[in-house]
């Protein structure tokens, strides 16, 4: 198994630059997840690692060897795509064994690898079936099993669950987590736009935006200490509430003046030179607490109530002209549309961003 090193990796299509000098080191056995909005370059970066896209600039190393010009079949990589790409006329066993037969492996070695992969993925009862007799989740597990049989240095997953319904996504995500536990020395790189997949599967998350890496770190580090506004609003669901204002008082505990004349003591240190500058504070919906006291962050009128059983989402129109503030409160709440409420939060849970969107807490 192997680690990877990306040094100033770039990708252009003619004059259009897609990946802008990405630097990243991935250790052997890590489960890395690329996330970002559509068009951010995460799938392109994965395909560059696989050898399916040419590298415009920079260096890609796998297991200490530069592979920029090495063909995909020689990189020791197996890739699992969105589509299952199974041969419909072949059984599960034959689909998993096909690549090994092409490579000239012996019948004994092929059977050993197929049976081992089938045991890991609980596919034993289905080896004699055709793909049409399987559910979507089972077909994706066959595609993963086919990759396992090749015994690659690195596994690449390109949104493998995007074609499954919600229930199958959960079940197959659990299978991938189990696969990761069963193969602790195997390096895996996974592309998704689904935050739940990223947060539950990753050792580290790589957040991409417009071909740049915004932040890299363990899931909870990105959740608790986002580097900038982009990461703050991309990680977490519903997204972090952002309230604009002006730094009224700098120092060890800055005060932010927001719309309506409200002053918010953020408890966050800000350089004295930033006094009077534009800024914004952020608070996650799940960190908000309804209050009747005078120590509140904002108040507003409830415009929408979404009672989901486990939690209740309140959409609150505050005094700014921006999007409604969202509060995520536990359980059932005796709140109705049109109610006027105040909300506060633990100051340790607040985030403060400068005019360029960079976090003061990072």
Same domain, 200 and 344: no
Mean pLDDT on 283-310: 92
Residue that finishes a domain, picked among 233, 263, 295: 233
Same domain, 293 and 167: no
Same domain, 346 and 301: yes
Rounded CA-CA distance 280/247 in Å is 9
Q: Are 110 and 97 in contact (CB under 8 A)?
A: yes
Q: What is the pLDDT of residues 277-291, one digit of tens each?
A: 999 999 999 999 999
Same domain, 167 and 201: yes
Q: Specify the CATH number for the domain of residue 299.
A: 2.40.50.140
Same domain, 277 and 341: yes
Same domain, 136 and 255: no
Same domain, 204 and 283: no
- The predicted structure's pLDDT at residue 102: 85
Mean pLDDT on 110-126: 89
- The predicted structure's pLDDT at residue 45: 95
Q: pLDDT band for 212, please (50, 70, 90 cuts).
A: very high
Q: Looking at the domain assignment, is residue 135 inside a domain?
A: yes
Pick 182 or 255 by higher pLDDT: 255
Q: pLDDT band for 320, please (50, 70, 90 cuts).
A: low
- The predicted structure's pLDDT at residue 220: 96
Pick 101 or 205 by higher pLDDT: 205
Residue that finishes a domain, picked among 168, 200, 233: 233
- The predicted structure's pLDDT at residue 161: 82
Same domain, 193 and 275: no
Mean pLDDT of the chain: 90
Nearest-CA neighbor of 160 among 250, 85, 73?
85
The first and second tokens of residue 338, run together, are 């049109």
Cα angle, residue 300 at apex, residues 295 and 305 outer, rounded to 5°:
120
Q: What is the pTM of this model?
A: 0.90
Same domain, 169 and 247: no
Q: Looking at the domain assignment, is residue 361 inside a domain?
A: no
Same domain, 251 and 205: no
Q: pLDDT band for 1, please (50, 70, 90 cuts).
A: low
Rounded CA-CA distance 262/284 in Å is 19
Q: Looking at the domain assignment, is residue 252 inside a domain?
A: yes
- The predicted structure's pLDDT at residue 201: 93
Q: Are 243 and 233 in contact (CB under 8 A)?
A: no
Residue that finishes a domain, picked among 212, 233, 254: 233
Same domain, 38 and 64: yes
How would DSSP label each residue in 207-252?
EEETTEEEEEE-HHHHHHS-SBHHHHHHSSSSPPEEEEEEEEE-BS
Mean pLDDT on 332-351: 93
Q: Looking at the domain assignment, is residue 161 inside a domain?
A: yes
Model confidence at 190: pLDDT above 90: yes
Q: Looking at the domain assignment, is residue 126 inside a domain?
A: yes
Same domain, 173 and 270: no
Look up the domain containing 331 and give its range. 239-354
Mean pLDDT on 205-223: 96
Model confidence at 322: pLDDT above 80: no
- The predicted structure's pLDDT at residue 249: 94
- The predicted structure's pLDDT at residue 164: 77
Model confidence at 168: pLDDT above 90: no
- The predicted structure's pLDDT at residue 353: 97
Query: How many domains is the chain built from?
Result: 2
Q: Specify the CATH number for the domain of residue 133.
A: 3.40.50.300
Residue where the block lists tokens 């559910």: 135
């Amino acid at each position: 198994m192997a680690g990877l090193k990306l040094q100033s990796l770039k990708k252009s299509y003619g004059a259009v630059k897609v990946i802008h000098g990405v630097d990243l080191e991935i250790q052997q056995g890590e489960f890395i997840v690329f996330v970002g909005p559509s068009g951010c370059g995460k799938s392109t970066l994965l395909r560059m690692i696989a050898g399916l896209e040419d590298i415009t600039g920079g260096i890609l190393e796998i297991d200490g060897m530069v592979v920029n010009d090495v063909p995909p079949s020689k990189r020791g990589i197996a890739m699992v795509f969105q589509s299952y790409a199974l041969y419909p006329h072949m059984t599960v066993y034959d689909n998993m064994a096909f690549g090994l037969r092409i490579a000239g492996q012996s019948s004994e070695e092929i059977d050993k690898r197929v049976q081992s992969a089938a045991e890991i993925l609980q596919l034993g009862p289905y080896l004699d079936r055709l793909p049409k007799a399987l559910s979507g989740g089972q077909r994706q597990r066959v595609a993963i099993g086919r990759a396992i049989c090749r015994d690659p240095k690195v596994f690449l997953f390109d949104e493998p669950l995007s074609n499954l319904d919600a229930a199958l996504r959960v079940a197959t995500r659990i299978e991938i987590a189990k696969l990761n536990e069963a193969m602790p020395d195997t390096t895996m790189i996974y592309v998704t736009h689904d935050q739940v997949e990223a947060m539950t599967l990753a050792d580290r998350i790589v957040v991409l935006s417009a071909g740049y890496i915004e932040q890299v770190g363990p899931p909870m580090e990105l959740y608790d200490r986002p580097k900038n506004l982009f990461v703050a609003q991309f990680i977490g669901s519903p997204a972090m509430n952002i309230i604009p204002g002006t730094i009224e008082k700098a120092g060890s505990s800055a005060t932010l003046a927001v719309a309506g004349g409200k002053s918010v003591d953020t408890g966050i240190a800000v350089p004295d030179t930033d006094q009077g500058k534009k800024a914004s504070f952020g608070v996650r919906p799940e960190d908000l607490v309804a209050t009747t006291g005078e120590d509140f962050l904002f108040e507003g009128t409830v415009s929408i109530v979404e009672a989901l059983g486990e939690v209740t989402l309140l959409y609150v129109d505050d005094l700014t002209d921006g999007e409604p503030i969202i509060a995520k409160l536990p359980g059932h709440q005796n709140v109705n549309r049109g109610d006027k409420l105040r909300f506060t939060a633990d100051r340790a849970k607040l985030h403060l961003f400068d005019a360029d969107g960079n976090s003061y807490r990072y």
